[in-house]
Amino acid sequence: MTHTMRSTKMNLINEDLARAHIAARLGEAQDLRLGHRIARARRLSRRAERAAQQARAALARSL
């Protein structure tokens, strides 16, 4: 009986550890996705700013 309780307790501990690892990995993945989205938004913003600057320069040349 005691052996079964210990075995069950060890299994529960292992399951808790596995859940903690999965949660940590999911958190890391979310952080990476957020970082990629932020980097992409910055790139797109810089590209849009360059395009706007080129359009302003082209307009100034045409006047």
pLDDT over 80 (residue 3): no
Cα 57 to the center of its chain, rounded Å:
37
d(CA 18, CA 49): 46
Secondary structure class of 1 (helix, strand, coil): coil
Q: What is the pLDDT of residues 45-56, one digit of tens each?
A: 999 999 999 999
Q: Which two tokens stand for residue 11?
A: 């299994």
What's the DSSP call for residue 63?
-
Question: If you count them, how many residues does the chain have?
Answer: 63
pTM of the model: 0.62
User: Where exactly are the structural domains of the chain?
Assistant: 1-63
Cα 40–Cα 45–Cα 49 angle in degrees, nearest 5: 150
pLDDT value, residue 2? 65
pLDDT at 48: 97
Give pLDDT, residue 7.
86
